[in-house]
Structure 1
Amino acid sequence: MLSLRRTKNGALTHSSILFKILIPFSQFSPFSSKSNPKSTTQNRITTIPRKSTTRRPISLAAPVPRVPDTVSTSIVNSVCSLLSKDTHEITSIDSLLKNFKETLRSELVLQILMNYKQLGRSKTLQFFSWAGFQMRFQFDDCVVEYMADFLGRRKLFDDMKCLLLTVSSHKGRVSCRSVSICIRFLGRQGRIKEALCVFEEMESKFGCKPDNLVYNNMLYVLCKKESSGHLIDFALAVFRRIESPDTYSYSNMLVGLCKFGRFETAVEVFGDMCKSGLVPTRSAVNVLIGDLCLFSAKEGAVEKVRVKDPYRTFTILVPKVGGNRDAIQPAVGVFWEVYKLGLLPSTFVIIRLISGLCQLGKAEEAVKVLKAVEGKKLSCVEEGYCIVMKALCEHCYVDEACNLFGRMLSHSMKPKLAVYNHVITMLCKLGNVDDAERVFKIMNKNRCLPDGMTYSALIHAYCEARNWETAYGLLIEMLGLGCSPHFHTYRLVDKILRENGQMDLCLKLERKLETLTLQKLCKDGQLEAAYEKLKSMIEKGFYPPVYVRDAFQNAFRRYGKSKIAQELLEKIDEIDRT
């Protein structure tokens, strides 16, 4: 409740800055109907007569001719110049501005307030209080709204509420925009209960019926700034009270419902919004689709199982075989609805949707989504292709994967290494070595450097086809690029070479692999392992080339052990001489 005494909600207090400034101008508190004749203030200079005067407040007087801009500017400059003088006496403001009492009006007050940088916060508040009592707080809406924003930005929340009560108590007008400003600033600072109090009492205390702006700001506070989730039902009730919800009403409600896991209600609200012909904000779409994807991933991956125990019955989560393919359908439905309305979610949400579809085995639907966003030239298209290609290749959908791969090339895209690897691995598993070789050539043509995974897939395929020449050539090429093959890959090639009587190639391959291993040990600074490796190579009769010997010697020299390396290398020189 908004009251004079401080509460847990931080309600209005007599220590309010604005309240202290207002006191010298009034014989009674603007928040109480009882006067306090005993209270005295040394700085009090004038009081507003309690009896009504014959002169009507300026804001209620008949329209007067508009003052030219030049005159208005001169008055503003004069007032700001007087207020900027080095004086700290509050009582001096009435004498300073006595010549401007008759010219006061809302436009002039607003222009002077907008010069707050020149006046400073204290002088700005003093002037507003003085002008308020001169005009009996009969300001236009723009002045009250500006002052509410001024106080809210400086986190003077008690003064902001004091402003609304003061204007209302003097029969001034408090607009819905002023109330919404107050609610929004309170909500941003986490003062949810105070914002609720302002909202619930705005009709009784301010005589102001909430409009869409007030409702939207209240929903913003309840749905986006409130973190406990206890008020989401109240937010839904507030939303139902709006006669004609607009885009922001629906969007705030969607964000709040998703934030607290009320996805079924969120989908229903989204359906009502589409029926009304409204388009949600992009941030609301991101939250709705993104959270629905996360929920579907959890829902489709696990299921609850009741376990009966002699002592108690409990529930456990177990992996769901195959997943629930329909769990992601609400997210897909929302995507296609906003797509029809000409709106697309952000790239990271699209990637999340495509990934979710692929994880649940709905690669065909993922392809449709990818083709829909392809024309928009979003940055996520290539990443989306990579995700879909991986899913298609893992499920061995050859035709779909090849068509999509061809689509990438026809659109002048440069597939990433992962895409090539997925396609080559799929073709090799199916024994389609010729097509895999074609993709490998396209890869080299597009200057995409293959890695160990690329070579391993091709080598295994050629070994299965008993093509030892090509398998051996690929492994030598792989070693030349500095890629270490898996032990199983090496043993597979070695076996097929021995079966075909190619013992010399077996020795050459072993020497090449030993040399590469020694080179990597020297590069990594593993001196002991490098020493043992070179020693074993000498015993086998394998002598590394000159550049590897230099790398071996340099590695030992960096750690001050060049003599140890030199002794071992001299043995190689002696063997070479003999």
Structure 2
Amino acid sequence: MMEERGFEPNIVAYSTVIDCLCKNGLLNEALDLFSEVKVKGIRPNTVSYNCLIHAMCNLGQQKETTRLLNEMVDNNISCDIVTYNVLIDAHCKEGMISEAIEILDTMRKHGIEPNVITYNICIDACCKEGMLAEAKDIVDTMIKQGIEPDVVTYSVLVDGHCLQNQMDKAKSVFQLMIEKGCAPDIHSCNIMINGYCKAKRLDEATELFDELAQNGQNSDTVTYNTLMQGMCRLGRVSTACKLLRTMLASGPVPNLVTCSILLDGLCKSGKLEEALKLFQAIQKSRLEVDIVFYNILIDGLCKAGNIETGKELFHELFVNGLKPDVYTYSIMINRFCTEGLPDEACQLFRSMEENDCLPDSFCYNIMIRGFLRNSYTSKATQLLKEMVSKGFSADISTATLFMDLILRSNNKSILI
């Protein structure tokens, strides 16, 4: 349009469009436009290269990234802090932390000082790999360089300790953040609550949740979901239901994750009537029920021995335009076998391919164990051979059942 009106776009205009294309996943189109820029004799700048490098790094195209970096050097276009941060982040995500540190040293040699974002990227990578001592060393270096840790730095350190189940150390870092005048944001608090929940320190998680409200800080959906998950894991489903009511009254709008957590908690605690009511309420709401919800409920019903209702839900899937996945089939097949119905289980197993759902190793093993436990030895052996021909192998439970069978019958030719 600019060209039609007699205006020739400059590199700033082109870089803006290239950035937009990259952020929308249209890397090939961005590269085509970049080539057009060069053909027109317009000199690309650092920004245009950064956009492409960032997109390539996100897609794991390291060779192409290296090619562009070499092209920058050849054209005497300097890398800036953004270029280096993108490269360091890409290496960290690939688990190449030592290489990322080398890039950090290289940027210093070229007269570009790392900023808080650079350091946070490296600290985060170390924490995720459990390298907390190394993360602390980077923080010390950062402070010596006159760069104060920000809320992201502290949050990353808290998360690192939580991942190692070092909740007391995580709490110390969290308190230090407050003492340094760096107010925790909702993300920092969610990390702490999640850590407490995973460490089964639910009272402390609830205490921090209550403090948020007292301090006038709004909890988000992640906060509620995390706390509900922790409650359900410890069997405190009634408390989780109360929290949902609080959420509905004054909190953020529950999402699919909220409902799936509660549905799973109700099923695992044997409260199937309440689970069915919740499921029906979700269906009537604006939320779009997917296969995950059906799997949770079908699994709960089958484990409680209510296979008929489980079957009804299974058939309801097709009516509602959904398709069972391999996990749905595995649940039903396993229950049929447990109920002494291996023929029905086999019929369902064989129908999978017709419904564009190929059995995986887990599903094969369930069916084979079902045959063995129902004394269908010949069919179990045939299916084992079929499974192996598909590139799968028997798991420890299936192998143990076969070994027991061989030892009882003293017949090693069973598997031949």
Report the TM-score when normalising by structure 2: 0.49
- Structure with a larger share of its residues in helix: 2
